[in-house]
Amino acid sequence: RRLAGQDPSNAGWQRDLAAAHSRVGDVLRAQGKLAEAQAAYGECLAISRRLAGQDPSNAGWQRDLAVTLGDIARIRAAKGEVDAALQLQQERLAVNEKLEDMDGIAAASWDIAQLELRRRDFKAAFPPLARSYSILQQIGRLDGLCTVGMLFGQFLCAAGKREEGIKVLTRSRDGFLKLGRSQDAKQTQALLDGLSQ
């Protein structure tokens, strides 16, 4: 903090300070101290916004900004501030889209879908959910594909696309087994059993 304060123009020191605030936020969040964690992430966000604004072409600084937006969004969601969390996730998605970070786009889309579900807006939840699943398929992220697919498959079945939904759920079950996540595989199998009754 002292070094960053001595020379605010030194981007390296500023980024180190932001990283320190982020680590503090991680610890506080793990301890369940959400207000304190949000304050720490807020310090990180202020620095990340400033750095990202100074050099929009710096992918590292833009990525830091996207990560911090996601951290604060999760805190706001945990505190029940769903609308505020959704706004932050949408900003995070926009940064990831600018970076063409497919992993980041998939993750932000998944988080947006979950927030829309908390608002019980199923229609708004479907497009980001479908987008996340499609991207995870393209980039071959099996862990994410299984998790997102578990929900996406149910959505497809509810929308009358039963055969497609069952395929997605089956892929999730098989993927969970491959990853050694037997409890998740059992849960997905229970969904499939329910559909066959």
C-alpha count within 13 angstroms, C-beta hemisphere, residue 33: 11
pLDDT digits (tens, 9 = 90+) for 156-193: 999 999 999 999 999 999 999 999 999 999 999 999 99
The runs of H, that is alpha helices, within the chain are: 2-6, 11-30, 34-54, 59-78, 82-99, 102-118, 122-139, 142-158, 162-179, 182-196
- State the Cα–Cα distance between residues 184 and 74, nearest whole angstrom: 23
pLDDT digits (tens, 9 = 90+) for 50-104: 887 787 788 888 998 999 999 999 999 999 999 999 999 999 999 999 999 999 9
DSSP string computed for 117-138: HHTT-HHHHHHHHHHHHHHHHH
Cβ count near 175 (within 10 Å):
21
- State the Cα–Cα distance between residues 136 and 128, nearest whole angstrom: 12
Mean of per-residue pLDDT scores for the chain: 90
Q: How far is CA 41 from CA 6, 60, 75, 171, 189, in A?
A: 22, 17, 9, 37, 39
In three-state secondary structure terms, 3 is: helix
